[in-house]
Structure 1
Amino acid sequence: MESDTQYEDKWPAAKAVGPAALLSRRRFALVAWVALVMVSVGGLATFIMYTSHPATQITETMDVLRNHTHSPPSPQSHVAGGPTMSFRENLRADTQYITSWVSAGWTNDVFTYINLIYLGIITDRVPIIAEFIPSHIGGHVPPIPFGKVFDVPRLRNLLGRSVLEWREVKDPNSTFVDDIGCWNVWEAVQYREAYPRRSRSINDVKLDISFTKAPTWIKMIPNYEHDQHVTFWSLARLAFPSTRAASLVTPLPSPKHNVSLPPDEHLLCYDYPWRFVGQYLHWTPELEQLTNAYVRRAFGITEDSPMPPFISIHVRHYDFEAWCGGVPIQECFAPLPVIARRVREVKDEIFTRTGKVVNHVVMTSDERNATWWQEVAQLGWFTPDHSETKETYGEWYPPLIDATIQSQGVGFVGTDRSTMSIIAARRVEAWQNGPIRLVKWGTPGADDH
């Protein structure tokens, strides 16, 4: 069981080759975006990258989105009614759907759902989003619904499209096990595991899945062991009849009922897309209010005091230690003076852009060394007090509050190659129009510049 403070996904910090991400022992790593050319995917098994003709595809994507700028119908208009014992009883015959599963640590699971929604847009299907599972904090912790973390009604309004949660489609208390066929992307892109990507959510939703291995042409570099990349458009092609029919092979029998089913056409599903979706994925008002209370307490101001602007920091240390190789920890991780230099850069950029002086800095980190935290305090930086968070609100909330704090900064300094930092940086850029920096690490002087 992982500690609740070890709340990030355990993905490696090895060197990237080109714009692609890195391979881990058990998972591929989501590392970065390159402008509009690359969009990361968490649970859909790999990075998804625009290829061949990126400019053309970006134009097509924008056309798709412009066609869906109308006000969205209510979620009830895309299901037959309230949650049912079998999901099929609740799907409308005139609507097509898409879903996938998560199993890669919370931040990467957020990427998965962003990517799933995006894939729904380009295939004109209604995404059905499952819960977040506690792969980062331990299996004893209950899952948390997507809509308890993110403001789904606001997302629907901003996208102009319906987005459903599984709990709106199938009764969470149902014991009925639905049979369904899904695409197995995981085996098509990597060669170490000869089975579909596994996820607790499949059992939580009570599904018995017969997987069909996706064709190898979905890979960026077919037959290349060290590539685990696919394109959105190759996955999207599997949603349409001609490509689907040409790609069918013998499905694997499902584990419970031993049925072999081709990938479902009504509810398209994959075992395992930010710019167009992620910026609209805002926190729930309740989570924002709770986070604001934590920040105000850290600043020592009253609940009704205006919130001063601050720069947020995310330093990831704990599980990255394993990826330092033979480099001593004190030389592998960027020291606080290096991080402080990046903070000064962000402060200067904010002043240059806006003329505003930002005096408050909030540190979030998984670091456990008390001396390190004392040094943070000596810099005059603030930290949220999580001493009673888990006991008061539950084990999901230390990472949720930290992630919300990170997104509220008018500027942000994060850790290079950490997906939690990457997604925080995108939020600050999109929501706050703030400058960002990602601190490099791994060798002495890695962030020298």
Structure 2
Amino acid sequence: MFIDSAKIYIKAGDGGNGAVSFHREKYINKGGPDGGDGGKGGDVVFIVDEGLRTLQDFRYKRRYKAENGQNGGSSNCSGKGGGDLIIKVPPGTLVRDEQTGRIIADLVKPGQRTVIAKGGRGGAGNQHFATPTRQVPNFAKPGDPGEELWAILELKLLADVGLIGFPNVGKSTILSMVTAAQPKIANYHFTTIDPNLGVVNIDAENGFVMADIPGIIEGAHEGVGLGHEFLKHIERTKLLIHVVDISGSEGRDPIKDFEIINEELKKYNPVLFERPQIVAANKMDVTGAEENLEVFRKSVESQGYQVFPVSAASNKGLKELVYYAAQRIKELPDTILTSDEEDEVLYTAVEEEPFEVRKENDIFVVEGNWVKKLVGSTNFDNYESLQYFQRSIKRKGIVDALENMGINEGDTVKMYDLEFEYFR
């Protein structure tokens, strides 16, 4: 079965902790601090592999974690960085943050490499905290945690040309005649429930990928039938070939069918409706097709669409159709669904809140990534480390935030596993 979406958990490596160490050597009684820094955690990196075609593998493995950085050592030795985790995905994979819906990456080109989750920075060793007045720092910083998220992977077929139209109008037959693909073909609706891909070879230097998109029905933009799953596969195509049954063999009106499909595209995604489109008037070998073509062509060409009369069953008119499509594709740019600039703005917004203060019953709770790192890096049994902690929360604005919320002397403040009484 064609797998076009998957949900996976991604965790970058945590940074290694900084070391608390002092230089020890024969004949040197009191060496200075020499605790090394922790190593950086490994990143989670997605790479586009053109040999992959589905997200099948992600059905069986759902959790991915990069290596943690090693802790720092004595003698100013830094810990080794954690190895990056490389995850290969097929061309056309879109990566979203499940929680926010934000697009993290649009992976299109073979070899494209994108960091999806960044590893945490290594913590600073105690060598960095020595000052003229603090010559024996008994504390170091822990490593930052690596980024983690539940990600939604969506595979939108990477085809140059998409065949669209109602079920049973001959899309699969056209694909089978112009490519080496062998889609399932039968005379009933929704024969194609998974997209089929085929390569159209024009000559030694020219060719393109064609996708037979499962039939769209009225109401598809609202999810009727398999609407959303069908429609999203056309978002990347450069050119649409709109296939209609010009014979009206099932009592359908070719003009009305054409208008319904385009209306569904417009409602689902207006940009998709504006995608270049040509029309294949199929089943010209059936009685009544010639008369219908004259009326249909007059209506459709007046709207700016070019019509190609074809008979997929007898392979008539298909050569002209694919040659024209190949020429148009050369003139059209690649379709990209997002931009790096947009992602950067969204990342910045996430990093703007260093802490959060709230009141639970009579306890003031302070949380946030910055707070968690500070608490973890403080040696509360050491006077100098405790002073560093107090100066840090005052500089960051936590003390002011607590006072604005009405904290009084003797009230309890909780920061993760740490609880203490507040005094001015």
Please tell me the TM-score bracket, short chain as reference.
under 0.3
What TM-score, normalized to structure 2? 0.24
Higher radius of gyration, 1 or 2: 2
